[in-house]
Each structure stands twice: as structure tokens, then as C-alpha cells.
Chain A
Amino acid sequence: MRRGQRGNQRKVQGEAPHSSRLTPHRATLLACVLLLALGRADAAERRVTPADGPLQAAVDAAAAGDTLVLAAGEYRGGIRIAKPLRLRGEAGATIDGEGRGDVIRVTAPDVTLAGLTIRNSGHDLTEMNSGVFLQKGADRARVEDCRIEAVAFGVWLDALKDVQVLRNRISGDPAVRSQDRGNGIHFFNTTGSLAEDNEVRDARDGIYIDTSNRNALRGNRLHALRYGIHYMYAHHNDVVGNRTWNTRTGYALMQSKFLKVLDNRSEHDENYGLLLNFIDSSEIAGNVIVDVERGKNPTGADAHGISGAEGKALFVYSSLFNDIHDNVFARSEIGIHLTAGAEDNRIHANAFVDNRNQVKYVSNRRQEWSYQGRGNYWSDYLGWDRDGDGIGDTPYEPNDGVDQLLWQYPAARVLFASPAIETLRWVQRTFPVLRPPGITDSAPLMRAPPSSCEALGARCK
């Protein structure tokens, strides 16, 4: 139904421009060096087939550093890998956990799983059943190009260093209650690791990350989930070029510092596109958040949504010292909601387009939202640009009396965007009778930045 989602994505190419701490290449190099160091001259590649007997026996028989190439067919899961090893699947190689425990549990470093179909783990969340459970000690593991299906957790990273989870397609079991499913990729106490170009669907949360510093989540496609990225207390991470849609919050980023949140997309998520709760000293740029919908009862058939769960493109809560620029926040109930002393952020060069409330600002103090003479683009800005410098002649104040009126008396909303309200706004600005503290953009942009035109199509041309 939502095909071609990648069409509008700003591709992050090569070396991530904003990332100095990304380690994939370094990690790969390191892994190679280590493999060479570990490797014996006789490191072997051996092909196994289902007819050869249990896969576990082949794993046990292999020597550290060997490669097992799995021929097409079905292998029984519950595999435990306790030595450096490479398992590569030929097309159709499937490891089936038969609904018990982990399909594969890795306890040794330098293990690679590639090209496998891994399915049917147990569904015991207490035991954290996973398609691939990378246990403490499984540093430098690689899980790549696998299909991981009908599992509780997809890939669990348990206090690890320098792991790579690349180009996998991970799905949970839609027959299981959402809260009884696991997360697609679960980072716990992990560092130097990368999740890139994975697709996660029908799991609980797409990527869950807590207490895990200096990792990168890049180019993942996350949909039909509770939260796309569920993010708690993890510093110095990059969240770059991911896409979420059909989630109950695209990006829930909480209680973390020094993040780079760049070039992500959220489309038709509920509640929040991008939630920043106690996120400090981070860069939030180039993200496109559109069509965020009011939260609904997760199990209900509720067309109207929950009172008090307005769809917010960006929620900035008690988050300070961030640079929020060149994002698009569009077609949502609320463009941006700032509260709880979320101050000292630079907010500039963003495009706020056709949100029912462009800004909800709950504070007693004023904020200026422009930087070095350039503010943001506001689709409801009514001012002129007589000197043609691209900057509106009068400040934009989203929190004017009319906005406040609309929050206080939602019934008046039927008239929002009517000529009457627009005129009221104009009059109020021209004859400023009241100036409630709020947001001022002293240098509103007359045109949306090109990035947002790309994101929104012809709308802003």
C-alpha cells in the first residue's frame, strides 16, 4: 500500500557527512585483522546440506575461523555458536527454531551469519527468545542479508562491541499481541555497532536501544510497529536516514545526549513523528516528518483517536542546546510542541507546512526562532517581502492570540484557515494589542527550503 517509500529519501551516501564516530569501516577492518590473527592457515570453507545431519553437529565440528556454506533446505534451530565462525546461506537455506528458544545463540566473538532465513523462535519474552541472540562476548558479530521471521526478538545485542546488523528483513508474528512481541533489533549496553539498511515490520518496536553509546542506526525501514525507534539513555549515537511509517510513534528518543538525528523520515505515524524527551546537545536536521496522526487505542477500532493524543510532528520536551534545522514538519495536527523548559535550542531553516496547529508552546518565556538572520518557513505566514531578500518583513508569531484562542476553544477551529481568522491574525499583527510570551521568528523565510519541496512534492514550488 505504501510502495516506493524510498523514492523521496535523501540518500546518505558514502561516509556519513555528520559522523566522525561511526565505526563500520573501522570495525570491518578490525574484524578482518582479527580473523587473520586468529585464523589458521587451514581455515576451511565447507558446504553442508540438510542431509548431512544436524546443523549443530557441523557447527561443533568446524574449527574456529571456518566458513560453513548452507545449501538450500531446512535446518533445525536452537543452534549455539561458541567459536568464531561464518555461516553463509545459499538461497533457500532456512534455520527453523520450531517455536522454542533462540534460533541461533552466539556466545563467541567474530561470528558472521549471512544470507540465512532464520525463523520461528520461541515467544517467551521473559527469556528474551530471539532469532539471533548475540550473547555477551559475541563482539564483532555480523548479521547480514538474513530474513528473520516469526520471531520474538529479531537480533538481540547483549552488551557487545562492534557488531554489524546489515540488510536484514526482520518481522515478528502479527498473530501475537503487539506487546507480547519482541523488538526487531535490540541494542543493550552495546557500543561501536551499526544497524544499517534493515527492514523491520510487525514486531513490537523496530529498533530498541538503551544504555548503548556510540552506535549508528542508518537507513533502516521500520513500519507496522509500536515505535519505529525506541531509544532510551544512549549517548553519541547517529540516527541517520531511517524511515518509519504506520507506527504508534516514529522516533521516541529519550534521555540522551550528543545525537545526530539526520535525514530521517516519518510518514503516517501516530502520536509523535519525532519525540525528543530530555535530548541535549544534539543535531536534528534534514528530517521529514509528515502526516502524523492522532493516537488511537492500540487495539481498538477507533476512528476519532484519543482526546489529548494529538499527532505531533515534533515534540520537544525539556530538551536543550540542540540545533534543529532544515527539517520539514508537515500536515500534522501539531507541527511542533515545545514545553517543560525546552530552551536554548537553535530552530531555523525548518519548514512548517499545513499543520493544523503550527506550534504549541507551553511556557512563560519568549523564544526567538531564527539564526544568523534566517528563520523558518511557515505556510501560514501572511507577511510581505518588499525588499525581495527572501525574508518576510514582519516577524512570524505562531503563538499569537488566535492560536491561543483555538487551543482554548477548539470549537472555533471550524473557522481556522477561514478568511476571517486569517484577517484576525493580520489585524492582530498590525495592531498588536496583546503579546503573550511565545515564539517569535524574526526572519521568516518566504520560500520553503528546497529539501522540503522535494519532500512535499509540488506543494511548495
Chain B
Amino acid sequence: MSHDEHPNALTRRGFLGAAGALGAAGAGLAAGLAPALLSQPAQAADKDDPTLKAHVPPGELDDYYGFWSGGQGGDVRIYGVPSMRLLMSIPVFNYDSGTGWGLTHESKRILGDDAPRNGDTHHVHMSYTDGAYDGRWLFVNDKANTRVARIRCDIMKTDAITTIPNVAAIHGMRLQKVPKTGYVFANGEMIIPQPNDGRDLDKPENYWTMFSALDAETMQVIWQVIVEGNLDNLDTSYDGVFAYATCYNSERGVTLGDMMRNERDWVTVFHIPRIEAAIKAGKASTIGSSKVPVLDGRKSNAANDFVQYVPVPKNPHGINTTPDGKYACAGGKLSPTVSVIAMAKLHELFDGKLKDPRETVVAEPELGLGPLHTTFDGRGNAYSSLFIDSQIVKWNIEDAINAYKGEKVNYIRQKLDVQYQVGHLKASQSETRNADGKWLVALCKFSKDRFLPVGPLRAENDQLIDISGEEMKLVHDGPTLPEPHDCIMVPRNVLMNKVKRVYTRDDPYFAATVERAAKDGIKLETDNKVIRDGSKVRVYMTSAAPQFGLTEFRVKKGDEVTLTITNLDNVEDLAHGFCLVNHGITFEVSPQQTSSVTFVADKPGVHWYYCIWFCHGLHMEMNGRMLVEA
């Protein structure tokens, strides 16, 4: 469809055509006026067309890696920004048919043997060094099954998953920013009995949740803090001292109504060094069968000097730290305000210098209906998503602070309609000290009529907005499969030279498989062998386009077969895939990668296997037979 045929928008050419027709109709004054009236702004529009800025011509690369959570898809996705081209889906908590994630031994070692096949990823963040992205890892939460995963950025594969004890539904998840990411912090959103072993089912007053800290290197949970209320979104400070989470259920209600009563809920603030000191001082206990030390951060604990609660209106949602590290902004959700909390005041609060925790709030600008999340351009401006207004509001932080002091200051710069109902929003590098104020993505929860209808289930609409100038400009509608929640944008130079083109043979991702093969006396790079061990059969083969190392292997009905394939091709993008027909088995074998699966050969007969990733002119001929004796 050409631009002119767009069914709704009156395009420049469309209108000029119309104006021409009007002229032809001889409508006197109007016809004479129309081209004069119309051509001037129309010409101006051409060279200022904001959508051109997002255009990345064929063959050119994007400026940013965009990492998107996949929501109930359970994966993490990589987009190119600003083109918004989808570059990859990284399976994390989901089963993935193409790569065999959830099927191969290499993935099961990470997922665990009985891992659920679903996940719900919300917040993906990259590890930091000195408050900037360092390209080591990505981390992402799983709200559905209370897990946290780590992704290696050199191969963009999940390499560790940890289930968090004593809590339910990990939602907010953030990383220590300085001096580098040592801690991964995770919020348990739902309150549950402690321990959750069948006790207190009908006593919600005994339900609690916790804030958890994982070691980024080992991915072990190293401590937890039990809190008042619940824990929603999370962020950390740039001085390494604080983590802070929104709480929308200070009532500790278990029904919607119960959770909405209080005029103010709060931001729960964690003082990390004091938590470490309390752990060291032996003030923790354990709960149930978990060995993780748990501190009591509730108000009832007189010895609690490590958690503070700052009241904010009302069922707050997002919390985001300004790139200069001075403030955290909590979105009011049911209040049209964003609460700006000053880091310097938080230090005073923990030092006992403030009478009222509300003194840490230095601004509470009224912005519009349903403010959820805030992001920053590094030029002193904040951008908040307004869920109900379906707008982005751009506002100035220092102006808002001055307005709160009583000055007559206009802190709102602009409101921009987005389509429709934006949840998270994120500006490029906004979660780092290097916020660059170039692009902003509005992750809209509904696309409604923005795309061709594809059935009752619709894509979301992640809209790209140019924020490099004074005025926000919408430049692109990006359909996303259900349902990303959040994203980050990382300059390409952080990653381009770190991402591997082919695996190295000593990659830990399949090191355990290499070790197992060695016990069988197998050198994976050269050997094509079948090793029988009673009813267990281990089949080792190489793949090099367009041939598998074995074009047939023979087993008996009922044998437990372990297949190990090693891709010898050393060429960028020359992935193979192994598919065994009628056995539900497909997996990826990228260049220089080793992958393995185990199954029972329970069907006598001839079963073909074939390469499922197009690899060669003779790709179709790249196959072989499994012969199963009755």
C-alpha cells in the first residue's frame, strides 16, 4: 500500500491532490487559496518529517540494542532501535520449539529438571559498572513462577535461573549500579503465610512478603528482608546505599477493594549497608526449610534500622531514579501525581534527622491521570506515562521541586497522545548515568485499531518517540507479541564487539556435555560413534553442512537414547538444527556448539532426522535415519 492510500490519515500528497481537485472544480476563492494555504506547511513538513529519523536503510545497523521483556511469552527479545526491527527472541522461562530450550540437556541444567514451561518476564536490566551498562549480563524476573534469570550477553543465552524461596511472584527486579553489579534485588509481590505450608490460609493478617538479594555471580539468594505491605516496582540508587520499592497494598488486603482503601501507601526504602551489617551481626533467622537468612524489616521490630517507609499517594506503581542520582520518582497510579524523593533526604531519614518520612518528598507534581512510570533525558526533564489519559507528559524536575516550594512555576512541558494506554516507558540509557535523551519507547498496552485486525487477540503497540528536541514526536508504531512490560536501550558499542559470532569450544554453556563425552572417550569435534551401555545408547555425531557425521544409527525398541550433536561449521550464522521426525525433538546447534537430548526410542521402524535450520544448497539432503529394531 502506498503512503497515499493510507485509509485514515490525510497525507500531504493526498491533500494536495484534493486541493488540486478543488481547483479544478473552480471554487473561486477557496480553490485559489487552497494551494497557497496548504503547500507551505506541507513543504515544511517534508523536511521535518520526524518519522524519517527512525529510518535505518537496508544494510545499515541500528544505534541501540533494545532489550524487551516478553511478558507471558516468558522470553526476552532483542530489537534494533530506532528501526524497531525484531532481532532475536531469547528463550528464558518458556519452552522454545526452535532452539529446543527446555528440551536439551544444556537448557535443562539451567532450568532444572521439572521446570514449569511458562514464565512471565517483566523487567530486564543489564549489569552495571560505575552506573553504566557493561555488557556482561542481563537479568530478568519471572512473576509467574517466582524466579530470576541471568542471560550471558556474549552468546545471548540464559545461563542461570534461581527460584526465590519464601515469596510469591517476583515482580520488581533491579541491580546494584555501583561500583558494579554485585547484587540482584527482587521483590516478592504477593503476600503469603510464612512458611507457606498450609498454615494460616484464612488468616491474611499472617501473610507477608520479602525483599530478596541475589549474588549476581553465583545467583544464590544471600539474604531476604520481610516487610510491611507488599512490594511492586523497584530501583536502586547511584551511591550504592539504597534500594526502594513501591507498595500498593499497605492494607495487606486480599481483595481488590481491600487493597484500594488507603489514601497513601508507601515507598519501602532499604539501606543496603545496614542490612549487610545486621546480617553480619547475626540478627537474621530462617523460615521453614529455607536456609536463606531473613531480617525483620517490619515496623514492629524495634531493632529495624535498615528499612523505612515513605508514605506516597495512592497505590503507587513505578519508581525510577534520575540519571544524576539525586531523586527517585514514584508514579501515583490512582493519584495524578508523581512523588519525587530526594536521595540526600533519605540519608537524613536513616540518620534520624527527620521527624516525618514525608520530608523526603521534595516534589509531588500533578501530571495527569494514571501516572505509572517515569524516564529521563539527562537534560533535567522527566517523562511519565499517563495510563488513563493515554499520554506521555514531559516535565522538568527542578521546576517541579520549585513549584512544590510554592513558586509559580510551569513544570509541565508537553503532553503527547500515545496509542493506547501506555504502561512502562523508557528513554535511551535512562537507567544509567549516561541518559542521552534521544529516543523514548512507550510500551502501550493496547493497539486496538492501529494494525490490521488479526483476531480477538492483538499485538501490543510499542511506540517510538523522538525526544532529542524540545518537543516529543511520535515516529513509529511497533507491534509486539503479548506482552512486553519494559525495555532498555543499550548503545551498540557496549555489545557489538562482545557478542560472539560462533561459540568457542570451551564455552561453559555445554561444558558438562563435553565432560560427559570425555568419560565415553569421545572427542566431540571429530568422533561419530554409538556407545551402548546396557539399554542406554549414547549417539555422538558432528554436523557440517550439508552432512551429519552419522547418516544412520541403530538402536533397539525401548532403548534410552542420548543424542549429542556438535556443529563443526565455523562460519557466522551457519546454524544447524536437529529434528527427529515423529519424536517431538528439535534443537539448535549453532556454529561450534554442542547440544544434546535424551529420549526413549519406543517406536520400531525407520525414523528420519534432518537439519531444520537452512544451512546449505544441499540442506534438504542433510538428513539420516534412526533404525529402531523391534
Q: A: which residues have CB within 8 A of B?
A: 125-126, 128, 153, 158-159, 177-180, 182, 188-189, 210-211, 226, 232-233, 248-249, 252, 254, 275, 277, 295, 297-302, 306-309, 317-318, 339-341, 362-365, 401, 404-405, 408-409, 411-412, 415, 419-421, 423-424, 426-428, 430-431, 433-434, 436-438
Contacts and interface: CB of A to CB of B under 8 A. Distances in A.
B284 interface: no
Interface in B377-424: 388, 390-391, 403-404, 406-417, 419-421
Nearest to B420: A340
Residue among A248, A404, A419, A426 with the highest chain B CB neighbour number at 10 A: A404
Nearest to A182: B263
A434 B261 contact: no
A341 B458 CA distance: 13
14 contacts: A153-B263, A158-B261, A179-B366, A252-B369, A295-B415, A299-B411, A300-B403, A318-B448, A339-B390, A339-B420, A340-B419, A340-B421, A420-B33, A424-B22
A309 B31 contact: no
B10 interface: yes
B37 A179 contact: no
Nearest to A309: B415
Contacts of B404: 177, 299
Interface stretch (B12-20, B316-324, B478-486, B492-500): B12-20
Contacts of A182: 263
Contacts of B336: 226
Contacts of B365: 298
Residue among A254, A300, A421 with the highest chain B CB neighbour number at 10 A: A300
Contacts of B121: none
Given A308-B391, A420-B33, A437-B8, A299 B403 contact: yes
A317 B390 contact: yes
Given A412-B37, A424-B34, A427-B22, A299 B409 contact: yes
A300 B15 CA distance: 39
Contact of A411 (B25, B33, B41): B41
A423 B391 CA distance: 35
Contacts of A363: 8, 448-449
B366 A405 contact: no
Given A179-B335, A340-B390, A419-B29, 8 more contacts: A125-B264, A275-B369, A364-B8, A408-B41, A409-B38, A431-B21, A431-B22, A437-B8
Given A126-B263, A339-B390, A436 B9 contact: yes
Contacts, number: 185
Contacts of B416: 308
- CB-based closest 5 A-B pairs: A308-B415, A300-B410, A423-B30, A404-B10, A409-B41
A434 B7 CA distance: 10
Nearest to A186: B263
A412 B369 contact: no
B22 A428 contact: yes
Residue among A177, A180, A409 with the highest chain B CB neighbour number at 10 A: A409
B364 to A, nearest CB: 5
A158 B262 CA distance: 10
B37 A232 contact: no
Contacts of B256: 211, 233
Contacts of B406: 299
B580 interface: no
B27 A300 contact: no
Contacts of B449: 341, 363-365
Contacts of B37: 412, 415, 420
B585 interface: no
Contacts of B8: 363-364, 436-438
A20 to B, nearest CB: 24
A460 B305 CA distance: 69
Contacts of B28: 423
Contacts of A128: 262-263
Nearest to B41: A409
B282 interface: no
A419 B32 CA distance: 13
Contact of A405 (B7, B38, B264, B471): B38
B18 A434 contact: yes
Given A254-B369, A318-B448, A419-B29, A433 B264 contact: no
B260 interface: yes
A297 B417 contact: no
B337 interface: yes
Interface in B315-345: 334-337
B228 to A, nearest CB: 13
A232 B334 contact: yes
B100 interface: no
A300 B21 contact: no
B409 A340 contact: no
A427 B415 contact: no
B534 interface: no
Contacts of A277: 369, 388
Contacts of B391: 308
A234 B28 CA distance: 56
Contacts of B33: 420, 424
Contacts of B337: 179
Nearest to A418: B33
A268 to B, nearest CB: 18
A252 B388 CA distance: 10
Contacts of A340: 390, 419-421, 446, 448
A306 B260 contact: no
A307 B450 CA distance: 24
B15 to A, nearest CB: 6
B410 A302 contact: yes
